[in-house]
Amino acid sequence: MTEQTMTCRVLLVEDIESEATLVIKHLRRVSGWRFIIEHYDRLVPALERARESRFDVVLLDLNLPDGAGIEVCQRMHEAAPNTPTIVLTNQTSIELGTKALREGAQDYLIKREVDSTLLGRAIRYAIERNRAERALRESEQRYALAVAGANDGIWDWNMRDTEVYFSPRWKAILGYAEHEIADRIDEWFGRVDQRDREKFDEAMSQHLEGRTALFESEYRITAKGGEVRWVLSRGVAVRDESSAPWRMAGSMTDITRRKQTEARLLHEAMHDALTGLPNRILFMDRLELALRRYRRDPHKLFAVLFFDLDRFKHVNDSLGHQVGDELLAQVAGRLLGCLRPGDTLARLGGDEFAIVLNDIAGPTDAIFVVERLQEALAQEFEIEAHAIYTSASIGIAVSSESYRTPDEMLRDADIAMYRAKNSGQATYAVFDTYMHDQAMFQHRMETDLRRALDKGEFDIYYQPIIAMHDQHVIGFEALLRWHHPSRGLVMPDEFIGIVEDTSLVVPIGWWVIERACYQLAKWQRLFPLQPTLAMSINVSGKLFLTDDMAKRLAALLEDCGIAPQSIRLEITERVVMDHGDLVLSTLSDLRELGVQLHVDDFGTGYSSLTYLQRFRYDSLKIDRTFVSTMSEKVDSSAIVEAIISLGMTLGMQVVAEGVETPEQFNRLRAMNCPAAQGFWFCKPLHQDAVNDFLRTGTPAALISGNVGH
Ligand code: C2E
Ligand code: MG
Ligand code: MG
């Protein structure tokens, strides 16, 4: 309070007139204050006034005509609970004064001793103390409200006598009512879940030892009825002069929901939604774990199995994705049924699955499991009234010291799987170092091939195709060559297979087609023969799968000005068989365009006649293996003869490949084979040599030095 004049409203309750006058006189003399005094000589009207109006202080005599004793004080306190009261007593009733203090009075004064100084000071202190008490009460109330309204439980631990206050909410988080939990610390610590015990104790002792500013721990706790909940507890210790903690208080939050959400998100991030199996991320994690265990104890062998469903794409394309999805889910179920609890089955994506097979004695154990899995998959699947059969190609990689990362091991299982797939469906292969070398080689080749295309290392050689009756040249077959910077001339059999497995197949394929077409246009102009020269071009099956093949070819032919009839696309028998339906629309577009279609290597791929009939090809090329063994093998001779007559029956041309000797030539002529190619006539030639050949008309076998073989 400052030295300025303060206004103070006083309610004076005193029945003796002279006493009242005396008090008022003293009040008037108190410096710095201006008192507005209302005086009552009865209690009841005074109480009424106190209720309706706010006073800064009450001066209260306890001996009134309508009330006496401590009861007066109580009634005034009820009427004006927030107004400070100073009791006025006689010398004889000091005891009553002290009682009044307990009933909420701020002070008591003995009437005879009162003077203005004493009175002023008493009033000032009473007002100040009352204000402080009110502030404290409000703050306590606010705190109590916060505790009651907060979602967190509150605890306050007196470490000296191990007593704890747990707020009702604290107990409610654990499912208990107020009276069901005692104020003892073990009611808390004793419920901490065993799994999180160590972590909890560590956080607590770190804080008590003063190593952390805040105690904080997320842990599981056993609630009523044995239910486990997740909570977060935080707290701060209060320390004495020697920094020893003597009290600690804090909160407890129920984080069960958050933990459940976290767990669900974690599960979703680690699992495949369709099958519910672990996904690649979790699989790699488990594989890493298996590798680590193996490194600690190399006797504990394990294996990685890599699966790819055979013909899955076919199911998806023909029966729809929904059936495909259901098949994957059912496959997952069957595979799981064949495994032990310690093994991990995962879906890596698409129709690829993988398994970590733990605790095996050796590769044979893994093979047993693989056979069991293949047997399970061989049983019919019934989906939406379709009976579906599937099988898997499986690659196996067995743990070894050489594996440093999970990726390496999965990669090898993948390589083995490809090996298995190439040797037929429903097979398996165990990875070995030969496969590794092979894979490394392929990888190098792929990089080399990319460079070859960029740097112009490819070239085309042309082998003449001859009419049998007069041996004149009717056309050429374009054959790809690779001038490798270190390996020299590389033949297509060494790299075409690799090209077909990569995205290079399209650009390289078109490079050959374009180059061969422009070359043919040039020769047709330079050597206008009758009938016009034709060009046979080998085309990979992948090219027929692109939508715009016929359109692109039409544009090209127009650009170089050659008739579509001069172009013969050679498709291997295998392509016709493998992609029969898928390439059909491209084939009919090409037929419409007018280019000819030849089945290459006929006789090696078990073509069904249905395929040949369904799509009328223009020509069959008899594979070299039959021609070359005609003289030794009666079978070969019979096959060649059969193909020739089949061709004639179906109205197709027939070209015999690989004619190397005059005997072969004569035999083919005797069989009425219309056309042939082979070293006996001419080896594949560089374009410059073809110019000479066309100019002289001499079979190139007689032209030395220009052969490309
Ligand atoms: P192909 O289409 O059956 O081609 C005939 C192969 O037989 C050629 O081998 C040719 O040089 C060889 N040949 C011809 N006459 C004789 C003979 O009298 N005796 C022997 N031993 N061989 C003979 P090349 O050029 O090594 O091609 C091999 C295969 O590579 C081709 O077989 C073809 O399937 C494929 N190919 C070649 N060029 C291309 C191409 O540009 N694209 C595609 N996709 N494949 C190609
Ligand atoms: Mg060919
Ligand atoms: Mg051939």
State whether the beta carbon of 580 lies less than 6 angstroms from ligand 1: no
State whether the beta carbon of 624 lies less than 6 angstroms from ligand 1: yes
Which ligand gives the minimal distance to the CA of 512?
Answer: 1
Torsion of Cα atoms, 183 then 189 then 190 then 195, to 10°: 160
Task: Tell how far the Cα of 479 is from the centroid of ligand 1, in angstroms.
Answer: 6
Residue with tokens 């265990």: 293
State whether the beta carbon of 492 lies less than 6 angstroms from ligand 1: yes
Predicted confidence at residue 702, as pLDDT, reads 44
pLDDT-based confidence at residue 709 (cuts at 50, 70, 90): very low
H or E stretch covering 239: strand 228-239
Report which protein residue has its CA nearest ligand 1's atom 12.
658
Q: Which two tokens stand for residue 331?
A: 């496959």
State whether the beta carbon of 390 lies less than 6 angstroms from ligand 1: no
User: Which atom of ligand 1 lies at the shortest distance from residue 499's CA?
Assistant: 44
Name the β-bridge partners of 464.
Answer: 476
Which ligand gives the minimal distance to the CA of 601?
Answer: 3
Q: Which amino acid belongs to residue 118?
A: L
User: Which atom of ligand 1 lies at the shortest distance from residue 540's CA?
Assistant: 44
User: Which atom of ligand 1 lies at the shortest distance from residue 660's CA?
Assistant: 18
Q: Which two tokens stand for residue 235?
A: 């707290």
Report which protein residue has its CA nearest ligand 1's atom 15.
678
* Displacement of CA 170 from its chain's centroid (Å): 38
Q: Which two tokens stand for residue 538?
A: 């080998």
Predicted confidence at residue 508, as pLDDT, reads 96
Residue with tokens 């109330």: 141
Angstrom distance (rounded) from CA 660 to CA 683: 10
Pocket test for ligand 1, best of 657, 664, 668, 686 (most atoms within 8 A of CB): 657
Mean pLDDT within 183-206:
95
- The pLDDT of residue 708 is above 60: no
Q: Is 297 or 144 the better-scoring residue by pLDDT?
A: 297
Name the β-bridge partners of 250.
Answer: 155, 235
Return the number of other C-beta atoms located less than 10 Å from residue 570's C-beta. 20
Q: Which two tokens stand for residue 113?
A: 């001793």
Which ligand gives the minimal distance to the CA of 570?
Answer: 2
Task: Tell how far the Cα of 624 is from the centroid of ligand 2, in angstroms.
Answer: 11
Name the β-bridge partners of 600.
Answer: 572
Report which protein residue has its CA nearest ligand 1's atom 33.
538
Smallest Cα–Cα separation from 688: which of 709, 666, 707?
707
Angstrom distance (rounded) from CA 675 to CA 666: 12
- The pLDDT of residue 486 is above 70: yes
Predicted confidence at residue 550, as pLDDT, reads 94
Mean pLDDT within 223-246:
93
- The pLDDT of residue 281 is above 50: yes
Angstrom distance (rounded) from CA 423 to CA 606: 16
Angstrom distance (rounded) from CA 193 to CA 200: 9
**For the residues of 254-312, what is the DSSP string, one character each?**
E-HHHHHHHHHHHHHHHB-TTT--B-HHHHHHHHHHHHHHHHH-TTSEEEEEEEEETTH
- The pLDDT of residue 175 is above 60: yes
Predicted confidence at residue 698, as pLDDT, reads 60
Angstrom distance (rounded) from CA 553 to CA 587: 12
Smallest Cα–Cα separation from 546: which of 512, 517, 589, 511?
589
Q: Which two tokens stand for residue 193?
A: 């879940």
- The pLDDT of residue 71 is above 80: yes
State whether the beta carbon of 573 lies less than 6 angstroms from ligand 1: no
Angstrom distance (rounded) from CA 437 to CA 414: 14
Report which protein residue has its CA nearest ligand 1's atom 45.
538
Task: Tell how far the Cα of 538 is from the centroid of ligand 2, in angstroms.
Answer: 5
Q: Which residues contact 165 (CB under 8 A, 6 or more apart)?
A: 154, 155, 156, 157, 183
Task: Tell how far the Cα of 551 is from the centroid of ligand 2, in angstroms.
Answer: 23
Smallest Cα–Cα separation from 371: which of 412, 430, 313, 432?
430
Mean pLDDT within 613-618:
78
- The pLDDT of residue 707 is above 60: no
Rounded to two decimals, what is the model's pTM?
A: 0.53
Angstrom distance (rounded) from CA 27 to CA 18: 14
User: Which atom of ligand 1 lies at the shortest distance from residue 623's CA?
Assistant: 3
Angstrom distance (rounded) from CA 516 to CA 519: 5
Average per-residue pLDDT in the chain? 90
Pocket test for ligand 1, best of 460, 479, 501 (most atoms within 8 A of CB): 479
Mean pLDDT within 273-297:
94
Predicted confidence at residue 532, as pLDDT, reads 92
Report which protein residue has its CA nearest ligand 1's atom 25.
479
Residues with CB under 5 Å of ion ligand 2 are: 538, 570, 600
83, 57 contact by CB (below 8 A): yes
Helix (H, G, I), strand (E, B) or coil at 48: helix
Report which protein residue has its CA nearest ligand 1's atom 13.
658
Give how far Cα 572 sits from Cα of 449, 587, 665, Å.
22, 13, 24
State whether the beta carbon of 658 lies less than 6 angstroms from ligand 1: yes
pLDDT in tens, 82-98: 899 999 988 777 788 88
10, 28 contact by CB (below 8 A): no
pLDDT-based confidence at residue 423 (cuts at 50, 70, 90): confident
Q: Name the DSSP letter for residue 146.
A: H
Q: Which amino acid belongs to residue 208?
A: L
Is the torsion defined by CA of 493, 494, 500, 505 positive or negative?
A: negative
370, 391 contact by CB (below 8 A): no
Pocket test for ligand 1, best of 504, 538, 627 (most atoms within 8 A of CB): 538
Report which protein residue has its CA nearest ligand 1's atom 19.
658
- The pLDDT of residue 55 is above 50: yes
pLDDT-based confidence at residue 706 (cuts at 50, 70, 90): very low
In sequence order, which ranges of 240-279 are alpha helices (DSSP H)?
256-270
Mean pLDDT within 244-268:
92
Helix (H, G, I), strand (E, B) or coil at 677: coil
Mean pLDDT within 9-28:
93
